[in-house]
Amino acid sequence: LDHFERGKVLLTGVQTLVIDEADRMLDMGFIPDIERICKLIPGKRQTLFFSATMPPEITRLTKTFLKDPVRIEVAKASSTASTVTQKLIPTHRLDKRDVLRDILKTEDVKNAIVFCNRKRDVGVLHRSLVKHGFSAGCLHGDLDQSTRTRTLAGFKKNEIQILVASDVAARGLDIPAVSHVINFDVPSHAEDYVHRIGRTGRAGREGAAFMLSTKEDGKYLAAIEKLIGKPIDADSAYGKDGKPAKPAAKTPKADTEAPKAEADAAEAKEESPKKPRSRGRRKKTEEAPEAVAENAVETVEANTSTADDTKEEAPKPK
């Protein structure tokens, strides 16, 4: 429509109209745009709708745009590929990042797409993974086209191992060799689950799909299992709280405690809602987490030094 309005294209010679991801196009409010396009092109034409899912309410809408349509199904509606192993990880909301990192470290992940429901969470989770040493990129609808293209190219070339994305990456992307898909959030629309895990196990390849689920996700999980026609088994390699059954090898506390504290403090700052502050308190409240950690270390060191000095300066008995 933009090209047409700028006089860059004529639509009078169109013979075929193709609408891909038909359910999403119609469901997201593009009906007026599609109606306008249909009025601009010749009435005598072939119209094709493509979609991985076609719910009844969307099927009714297609009757507005199609005349004597023939429905062709290459697979059972809303089915998932048999080459994809689906696993459910029960966990708690505050533990989800830890569980995600455990999965990425434990599983044989060559590359993975991690899906979040909200664009804001995509950015926060991406920064969290980078801070913990993972090769990660992010993809969502608010990014400009050049950034999205560059990120996708890096993921396809294995320059980026983990792609954190919103549902913009669930449809229309042809990345043939994705080994894992991880649903960090249970999708609120059951059809989106089919699209998400369809990014792995393509063209006969094997793939794995994990989904982190909390008690609050019960309604959405039930809808997904009803849609795909089978329950999703909990992963036996993980405990009921989403923690690995086998504890990870311990590393020296001094080597891991400080970096983990800094990363967790930064993540907590990103997640906490911003509150209005007075000017007098701004300097104190906006102090960086790293500075807080450093001050804490200095305080401990100072206390230790004071104790040692007191011990050294104690008068010796005559």
Q: Residue-wise pLDDT tens for the chain (318 aa)?
A: 888 888 888 899 999 999 887 776 766 667 788 888 988 999 889 988 887 677 776 777 677 778 888 888 876 666 788 889 999 999 999 999 999 999 999 999 999 999 999 989 999 999 999 999 999 999 987 888 888 889 999 999 999 999 999 887 666 677 878 999 999 999 998 988 998 998 898 878 899 999 999 999 999 999 999 999 999 998 866 655 555 554 444 443 444 444 445 555 555 555 554 444 544 444 444 444 444 444 444 444 444 444 444 444 444 444
Look at residues 295, 112, 293 and name the one whose alpha carbon lies nearest to residue 201.
112
> Which pLDDT value is given to residue 241?
56
Q: What are phi and psi of 158, to 5 degrees?
A: 65, 20
Residue corresponding to tokens 């969290």: 128
> Which pLDDT value is given to residue 134?
96
Look at residues 113, 103, 106 and name the one whose alpha carbon lies nearest to residue 183.
113
Q: What is the side-by-side strand order in the sheet with 162-165?
A: 84-90, 207-213, 180-183, 112-115, 162-165, 136-139
> Which pLDDT value is given to residue 197?
92
Q: Which domains does the chain have, with CATH numbers?
A: 2-65 (3.40.50.300), 84-254 (3.40.50.300)
With residue 208 as reference, give the H or E element that holds it. Answer: strand 207-213
Could you give the angle at the alpha carbon of 313 between the alpha carbons of 307 and 315, nearest 5°? 125
For helices 253-271 and 289-313, angle between their N-to-C axes, nearest 10 degrees: 140
- Please state the pTM of the whole predicted model: 0.63
> Which pLDDT value is given to residue 59?
76
One-letter amino acid of 287: E
Look at residues 106, 31, 111 and name the one whose alpha carbon lies nearest to residue 63.
31
53-110 confidence digits (pLDDT tens): 777 767 776 777 788 888 888 766 667 888 899 999 999 999 999 999 999 999 999 9
